[in-house]
Amino acid sequence: MPATELFRDIANQTGETEFYTPVPSGYQPGRTKYVIVFGTVMSGLGKGIFASSLAKLLQDQGLRVAPIKLEGYLNIDSGTLNPYRHGEVFVLDDGMETDMDLGTYERMLDQDLTRDNFVTNGQIFWAVLERERRGEYLGRDVQILPHVTGEVKRKLRDLAVKTAADVVFVEIGGTVGDFENACYIEAMRELAYEDGPENVCFVALTFILEPSILGEQKSKAAQLGIKRLLEMGIQPHIIACRAANPVTDKIREKLSIYTSVPMSRVISMHDESSIYLLPTRLQRDQVDRQVVHILNLNDRVDPRAEQKGTRTWEGFCRRIRQPKHEVTIAVTGKYTAVRDSYASLLKAVEHAGAGLETHCNVRWVDTTDLTEDGAAIALEGADGVIVPGGFGVRGAEGKIACVRYARENIVPYLGLCFGFQMAIVEFARNVCGLQGADSTEIAASTPHPVIDLLPEQYEVEGLGGTMRLGGSDVEVAPGTLASKMFGGAETVRLRFRHRYEVNPEYIDRLTGAGLVFSGKAPGQPIMQILELPDHPYFVATQSHPEFTSRPLRPSPFYTGLVAAALGRNAVGPVDANPSRR
């Protein structure tokens, strides 16, 4: 696709021009195409799930895809966001703390992302202000339009150049009409104008109401939402309708005539039992083909690659839809009211379950006021227990009670980050006899600080506090269960997000009483995986293996738990699909 005349004007600009739009060197309009997904009516509809499913289908056709999420808030990253309000904080390998949607993209695409894939308004404004201070705007008044929108386009085009993607999938956070994302939407309109037709495909994700008092679907809210997008100069190419039930033709027709989008591109995206069933549905509705057509990508797709990808994925979906076994996994947590707070954990359980043709029911256990007797009642009949990551004192004693129950009653146990720390505290108190042992995060004046900040962390703490974040290699001790679970690998890469860790002064006391540290930081006394050899599956890790679990490559920690919950040897299939992309 040749560059538009406008684009040439922009690229050749010298001196004063109203066409302020930064274009990174090497950028060729038309080389990378864009699919841009907006939400209307309300947020939380699954823009990320839709965008990642579609991206997966194009990836399966041999196209190189790169997702990017544009967040409306001013925080520089998601690190300080309360999962109760905003869903879980997802951590990338490079240490960036992001919105949970990045997890959806990593899982669906089986691709590690970086900070380039995550943008907030805070980052955009920060960059603009830094440029202003450096005098980069040539004496101009710095304006939302064109400078802020220019910065947004720069992020997208930088990603296009860096990744050499065929298609960049852009997800605009929030809903159309929010003040917060107005700059983004304007920037997307400009991008489409500058890069020219056939290079940008706009998708409006909307919601079809079905009020129980009426018993039928209503399209008005969807119409008004899309109207808002049209008012902002964006004509969608595709409308995806979220709904509880399949969207009727009547509704699709109404939307089609109202928005000038052909019926074949107004698609029903009704509820499924698993998000992983969505790619197949989109494929059936030929949404991927529509996008290839709209973006004129026919010459770049590889039909043979598609067949292989489709077959593998269908096998995975079959194992989700028709499981042969069922187990109940109890998950303790403070944020049990909001499932999004544990999005990656739930997915990791699902991946492991699918690998073993097992449906995993999750039983939530609120540990806020949980006593030891209460833990016994709450965990009665559970086939496995997970104590996940967490912060602060609330519910900590209840979690320790759950760990004790699992250890003493031989119930498979998986501890994740905080759940690893609580397993240490429980073992120190009840096996090593260290009365009052605790984490200094919970009891600063404990006589036995078995979990503590390392000296180096104390220093950092004084400077405003920070955590150990991102991917790190973990050394696995040979001959341990962990080593078997990882197929004998000497090091494995895991992701971290924590401030406290096992106090090295207590390592000998703990191991002397039978605890085995099967993973540690290379060259440092930092303990990262533990196990109890006389228990069928009592494993915990300082890391968050849920962040690296993928549909076709479940985390061995989770596979081990589900296998043990099924009463099997914990060493299940390590890698359901070794052919990595």
441 contributes a contact to ligand GLN by CB under 6 A = yes
Say if residues 276 and 551 touch (Cβ distance below 8 Å).
Answer: yes
Single residue of 276, 405, 500, 506 touching ligand GLN by CB under 6 A: 500
334 contributes a contact to ligand GLN by CB under 6 A = no
Single residue of 248, 391, 470, 521 touching ligand GLN by CB under 6 A: 391
Residues 253-312 that bind ligand GLN (CB under 6 A): none
- Judged by CB under 6 A, the stretch of 215-223, 335-343, 388-396, 469-477 that binds ligand GLN is 388-396
Q: Is 546 a catalytic residue?
A: yes
Q: How far is CA 297 from CA 4, 68, 76, 171, 302, in A?
A: 18, 20, 35, 20, 10
Closer Cβ to ligand GLN, 219 or 367, answer by number: 367
* Distance between CA atoms of residues 207 and 217, nearest Å: 10
The CA-to-CA distance between both ends of the chain, in Å, stands at 28
Bridge partners for 68 per DSSP: 170
In the complex, the smallest distance separating the C-beta of residue 442 from ligand GLN, rounded to whole angstroms, is: 9
Bridge partners for 34 per DSSP: 168, 200
In the complex, the smallest distance separating the C-beta of residue 402 from ligand GLN, rounded to whole angstroms, is: 15
The encoded tokens of residue 518 equal 């099967």
* Distance between CA atoms of residues 491 and 290, nearest Å: 44
| 106 sits in which H/E element | helix 101-109
Q: Per-residue x/- mask for ligand GLN, residues 402 to 431, rule CB under 6 A?
A: ---------------xx-------------
Say if residues 174 and 43 touch (Cβ distance below 8 Å).
Answer: yes
Single residue of 407, 497, 550, 553 touching ligand GLN by CB under 6 A: 497
Single residue of 146, 309, 384, 389 touching ligand GLN by CB under 6 A: 389
> 65 exposed, middle or buried (CB, 10 Å; 0-12, 13-18, 19+)?
buried
Q: Is 432 a catalytic residue?
A: no
Half-sphere exposure of 484 (CA within 13 A, CB side): 13
- Judged by CB under 6 A, the stretch of 34-42, 171-179, 387-395, 469-477 that binds ligand GLN is 387-395
In the complex, the smallest distance separating the C-beta of residue 430 from ligand GLN, rounded to whole angstroms, is: 21
Torsions phi, psi of 228, nearest 5?
-60, -40
502 contributes a contact to ligand GLN by CB under 6 A = no
Sheet with 200-207, edge to edge strand ranges: 118-120, 65-71, 167-172, 33-39, 200-207, 238-243, 266-270
The encoded tokens of residue 392 equal 């602060």
Closer Cβ to ligand GLN, 308 or 394, answer by number: 394
* Distance between CA atoms of residues 446 and 425, nearest Å: 11
Closer Cβ to ligand GLN, 413 or 500, answer by number: 500
Closer Cβ to ligand GLN, 59 or 439, answer by number: 439
In the complex, the smallest distance separating the C-beta of residue 136 from ligand GLN, rounded to whole angstroms, is: 39
- The single residue of 201, 402, 417, 432 carrying the catalytic annotation is 417
In the complex, the smallest distance separating the C-beta of residue 91 from ligand GLN, rounded to whole angstroms, is: 9
Say if residues 335 and 83 touch (Cβ distance below 8 Å).
Answer: yes
390 contributes a contact to ligand GLN by CB under 6 A = yes
In the complex, the smallest distance separating the C-beta of residue 551 from ligand GLN, rounded to whole angstroms, is: 23
- Collapsing DSSP to helix, strand or coil, 240 comes out as strand
Closer Cβ to ligand GLN, 187 or 387, answer by number: 387
In the complex, the smallest distance separating the C-beta of residue 441 from ligand GLN, rounded to whole angstroms, is: 5
- Judged by CB under 6 A, the stretch of 10-18, 99-107, 383-391, 423-431 that binds ligand GLN is 383-391
131 contributes a contact to ligand GLN by CB under 6 A = no
335 contributes a contact to ligand GLN by CB under 6 A = no
Q: How many residues bind ligand GLN (CB under 6 A)?
A: 10
Phi/psi region, residue 507 (left: phi>0; alpha: psi -120 to 50; beta: rest), is: alpha
Other residues' Cβ atoms within 10 Å of the Cβ of residue 369 = 10
498 contributes a contact to ligand GLN by CB under 6 A = yes
Closer Cβ to ligand GLN, 9 or 93, answer by number: 93
In the complex, the smallest distance separating the C-beta of residue 365 from ligand GLN, rounded to whole angstroms, is: 17
Closer Cβ to ligand GLN, 309 or 390, answer by number: 390
* Distance between CA atoms of residues 465 and 199, nearest Å: 44
- The single residue of 88, 186, 306, 546 carrying the catalytic annotation is 546
Say if residues 555 and 352 touch (Cβ distance below 8 Å).
Answer: yes
Q: How far is CA 210 from CA 82, 239, 246, 271, 380, in A?
A: 31, 18, 11, 13, 39
- Which letter does DSSP use for residue 535 in this model? S
Q: Which residues are catalytic?
A: 417, 544, 546
Which residues of the shown chain bind ligand GLN in the complex (CB under 6 A)?
Answer: 389-391, 417-418, 441, 497-500
